[in-house]
Amino acid sequence: MAKDWKGNGNSIYKALGASNHTEAEREDNDYYATDPIAIDKLLAAEKPYRIIWECACGQGHLSDRLKKNGFMVFSSDLIDRGYPGTQVKDFLTANPPPCTCDILTNPPYKYAKEFVLRALELIKPGRKVYMFLKLTFLEGKARYIELFSKYPPKTVYVFSERVLCAKNGDFQRMKDTGGSAVAYAWFVWEKGNYGGTEIKWI
């Protein structure tokens, strides 16, 4: 069953008063494309495994950049947004064979915790989960109890400069309306390695 990924009233955009991310304007399925520079910044810090599942690929912004850097990428999404080769599937209910891959995406924020937990279920020990998330993902009692207390990330890579996430992939509109009011980071989990979390800047 398709899920409603519409943002809720506690959105950080509302809290920050960012007019281009108000509740009334949120995309129905929480689709905000990620500037591919996010991949460039990540790859300057570490190299994921050569096979990657981009499980909320949207229009392919991250998948394309990964492929251009030599990775084998399997791209899927709840909705086909026109990216060639997209497999239409609900990541939270899909039952693929055990993944000999890393999983990397910018998940729909409403289901970000669920995406992390599902990704950790699917990959093999030693493989990694890379999630592009707001820094505010570090907050929250439920996230602490259900995720961080059991599976703390290995590394959180905080962006030293703001990275754009554009509604429906319209980056020019984002730039024209003042850019991003939200701070993001790459959250990285390594399955089976749940020691301390290191914070780095990229």
- Spell out, as residue ranges, where the chain has pLDDT lower than 70: 1-30, 166-181
What CATH number did the domain enclosing 62 receive? Answer: 3.40.50.150
pLDDT digits (tens, 9 = 90+) for 78-129: 999 999 999 999 999 998 877 799 999 999 999 999 999 999 999 999 999 9
Question: Is 165 a member of any domain?
Answer: no
Residue 119 lies in a domain: yes
pTM, 2 dp: 0.82
What DSSP assignment string belongs to 12-65? HHHHHT-GGG-GGG--TT--EEEPTHHHHHHHHH----SEEEETT-TTSHHHHH
Round to whole Å and give the CA distance between 142 and 77. 26
Distance CA 80, CA 88 (A): 6
104 domain-assigned: yes
In a domain, 109, yes or no: yes
Residue 111 lies in a domain: yes
Range of the domain at 102: 34-159+186-201
Q: Is residue 180 part of a domain?
A: no
Domain count, the chain: 1
